[in-house]
């Protein structure tokens, strides 16, 4: 994750949908944001509608009335600036730890994307201010708690809107927190004075939960391939077989994710003498355990779940989420499109395969450590068993992580709590689903890193005992790992070695090493 200035190509916002890659580029890579002429034109046209309604004697929600349960309260024209300012101030009510910069940047970009459709009725200057804040890498301080995932991610978005008006706090590109007014002035950005409808438009969207979904999908697209890599290395370490991954066998159950994971396993294991059962200690098993043999089925199901959730994300990226909203024929209409259920369900859904991928990885690791099931490896992969404990407690760490991931797989979206004097009597809790999914993805990364760390050690021990070398892909991955973590020897301080393996997974070096050999096509 980076919030520093970058040379990445600008992301241009028009009336078309953002891509998931655009969101990642702005959120993580610091790509600059530009507003297209079509976006500025659409915002101006939407604003004309609001200005006309502001002069109307008929009350219009968000323009000349209060909000939520106060929607029946009429607000005179001279108090409407106060109305918008009070809305943002009162809704900036978050609590708890600060949310990560990449999530805040994604949230701001996605709110800006809806603004540029013209369906919200904000002035072009509002969109330009958000774009300028993103380009200046000013990230409002947003807190962990405050969103129920309905009527939008209200508190998180309100903290961003508050900063755009020159109140609240922001974190700059140097990582230092400072008052928003001071940071805006230093960046040459004029604070906004919000007029009719604008405060409401800035806080009424599913942008936080959607941003977390997009970022999680980007992580998982890499991690599911890491899981395939880890499984293949463990199969080699346990002298298993690759025969079950044959394309014709996999085609008998034509799930696309399963086919992709099986192809990855075949590619990593290609040319391996360890799975060909050659050498002085060759042996033959009729069947490997499920955690080895069924890897494509489980990893593939995760891939297919991701594909469904990516479809949900893409639909949401093409949406204009606000209430009320300006229709194409110029009506201002209340609606329920701010309800986060579609995104919340996807976030909860992803947490299930994340937990299961980690569970299967931990079971594979445990097999390498148990002499009753490891087929000739030393107890716990220890250099001198008894004196040394090897990777015994690394598996404990995996087990603790897996237990946590199972808890995080419990859905948030079924736990609706009513709010706003029962006006908002059903909510999605999608923000909560996103927060726990981020923790789950990080836990999966750690579990897989430990499996690869153990598998590489097991492969070293095989070679030291005179058994065949691993496949080209596994050898390449092990070589990169060995630049940070030494091979087998007496027990060492293990936590830094686990951290190094996690970093190599996170920055993509291990996947890159395998792919450089032609492995892992998916």
Q: How far apart are CA 119 and CA 121, in angstroms?
A: 6
Cα 126–Cα 143–Cα 426 angle in degrees, nearest 5: 85
Tokens of 315: 């639909």
Taking CA atoms, 365 is separated from 104, 443, 451, 457, in Å, by 36, 15, 5, 11
The distance from CA 142 to its chain's CA centroid, rounded to whole angstroms, is: 17
Nearest Cα residue to 437 out of 116, 195, 100, 155 = 100
The distance from CA 238 to its chain's CA centroid, rounded to whole angstroms, is: 33
Tell the residue number behind the tokens 């990642």, with chain if given.
24
Q: How far apart are CA 374 and CA 175, in angstroms?
A: 48
Residue 55 burial by Cβ neighbours in a 10 Å radius (0-12, 13-18, 19+): exposed
Active site residue 61: yes
- Close Cβ partners of 18 (under 8 Å, ≥ 6 residues apart): 11, 109, 110, 113, 317
Cβ neighbour number for residue 463 with a 10 Å cutoff: 17
Identify the active-site residue in 61, 145, 290, 345.
Answer: 61
Tell the residue number behind the tokens 């007014």, with chain if given.
181
Nearest Cα residue to 250 out of 264, 235, 240, 263 = 263
Bridge partners of 65, per DSSP, are 74
Cβ neighbour number for residue 466 with a 10 Å cutoff: 9
Residue 489 burial by Cβ neighbours in a 10 Å radius (0-12, 13-18, 19+): exposed
Tokens of 446: 């750690």
- Residues known to be catalytic: 61
């Amino acid at each position: 994750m980076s919030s520093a200035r970058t040379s990445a190509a600008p992301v241009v916002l028009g009336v078309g949908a953002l891509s998931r890659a655009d969101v990642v580029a702005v959120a993580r890579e610091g790509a600059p944001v530009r507003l297209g002429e079509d976006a500025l034109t659409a915002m101006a046209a939407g604003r004309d509608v609001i200005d006309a309604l502001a002069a109307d004697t008929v009350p219009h929600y968000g323009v000349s009335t209060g909000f939520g349960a106060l929607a029946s309260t009429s607000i005179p024209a001279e108090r409407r600036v106060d109305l918008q300012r009070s809305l943002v101030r009162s809704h900036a009510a978050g609590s708890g730890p600060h949310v990560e910069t990449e999530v805040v940047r994604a949230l701001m970009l996605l709110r800006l994307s809806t603004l540029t459709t013209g369906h919200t009725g904000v002035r072009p200057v509002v969109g330009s201010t958000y774009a300028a804040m993103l380009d200046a890498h000013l990230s409002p301080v947003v807190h962990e708690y405050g969103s129920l995932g309905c009527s939008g991610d209200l508190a998180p978005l309100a903290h961003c809107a508050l900063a755009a008006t020159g109140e609240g706090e922001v974190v700059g590109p140097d990582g230092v927190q400072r008052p928003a007014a001071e940071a805006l002035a230093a960046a040459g950005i004029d604070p906004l004075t919000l007029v009719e409808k604008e405060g409401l438009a800035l806080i009424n969207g599913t942008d936080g939960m959607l941003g977390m979904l997009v970022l999680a999908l980007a992580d998982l697209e890499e991690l599911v391939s890491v899981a395939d890599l880890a499984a293949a290395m463990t199969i080699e370490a346990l002298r298993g077989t690759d025969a079950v991954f044959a394309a014709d066998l996999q085609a008998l159950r034509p799930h696309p994710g399963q086919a992709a994971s099986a192809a990855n396993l075949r590619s990593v294991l290609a040319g391996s003498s360890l799975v060909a059962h050659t050498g002085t200690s060759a042996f033959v098993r009729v069947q490997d355990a499920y955690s080895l043999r069924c890897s494509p089925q489980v990893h593939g199901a995760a891939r297919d779940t991701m594909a469904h959730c990516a479809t949900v994300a893409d639909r949401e990226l093409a949406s204009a989420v606000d209430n009320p909203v300006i229709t194409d024929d110029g009506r201002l209409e209340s609606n329920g499109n701010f309800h986060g259920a579609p995104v919340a369900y996807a976030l909860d859904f992803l947490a299930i395969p994340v937990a299961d991928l980690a569970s299967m990885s931990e079971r594979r690791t445990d097999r390498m450590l148990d002499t009753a099931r490891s087929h000739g490896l030393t107890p716990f992969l220890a250099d001198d068993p008894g004196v040394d404990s090897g990777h015994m407690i690394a598996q404990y760490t995996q087990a603790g992580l897996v237990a946590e991931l199972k808890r995080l797989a419990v859905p948030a979206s079924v736990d609706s709590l009513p709010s706003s004097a029962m006006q908002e009597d059903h909510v999605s809790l999608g923000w909560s689903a996103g927060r726990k999914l981020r923790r789950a993805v990080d836990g999966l990364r750690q579990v897989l890193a430990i499996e690869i760390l153990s598998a590489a050690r097991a492969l070293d021990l095989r070679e030291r005992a005179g058994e065949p070398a691993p496949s080209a892909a596994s050898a390449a991955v092990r070589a990169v790992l060995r630049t940070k973590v030494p091979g087998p020897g007496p027990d060492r301080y293990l936590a830094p070695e686990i951290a190094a393996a996690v970093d190599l997974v996170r920055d993509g070096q291990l996947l890159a090493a395998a792919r450089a050999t032609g492995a892992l096509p998916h």
